């Protein structure tokens, strides 16, 4: 099993990492951001990919509810 990289000094000082992604909204794309508790971008991205069906469903539910903040859907890792 491959070890995950250690957080860089910058990542440590930034704190928990977020990952941006887009979902289709008709012919347009909707920007989304997932705030995680992981210290590195790599770990945050792996979490997004491993949990994509659930995260996409959460983003679509937020889109349907009109929960768009500053042009972006913001999700928190649970």
pLDDT tens digits, one per residue of 40-74: 888 999 999 999 999 999 999 999 999 999 999 99
- Rounded to an integer, the average pLDDT of 18-44 is 93
SS3 8: coil
**pLDDT for the residue 2:** 62
Look up the domain containing 64 and give its range.
12-76
60 is a domain residue? yes
Separation between Cα atoms, residue 1 and residue 19, nearest integer Å = 24
**pLDDT for the residue 1:** 56
Q: How many domains does the chain have?
A: 1
**pLDDT for the residue 6:** 72
1 is a domain residue? no
Is the C-alpha dihedral spanning 14, 54, 59, 50 positive or negative?
positive
User: Mean pLDDT across the chain, nearest whole number?
Assistant: 88
4 is a domain residue? no
7 is a domain residue? no
């Amino acid at each position: 099993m491959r070890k995950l990289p250690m957080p860089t000094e910058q990542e440590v000082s930034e704190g928990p990492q977020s990952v941006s992604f887009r979902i289709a909204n008709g012919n347009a794309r909707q920007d989304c951001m997932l705030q995680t508790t992981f210290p590195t971008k790599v770990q945050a991205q792996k979490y997004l990919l491993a949990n994509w069906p659930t995260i996409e469903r959460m983003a679509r539910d937020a889109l349907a509810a009109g929960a768009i903040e500053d042009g972006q859907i913001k999700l928190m890792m649970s």
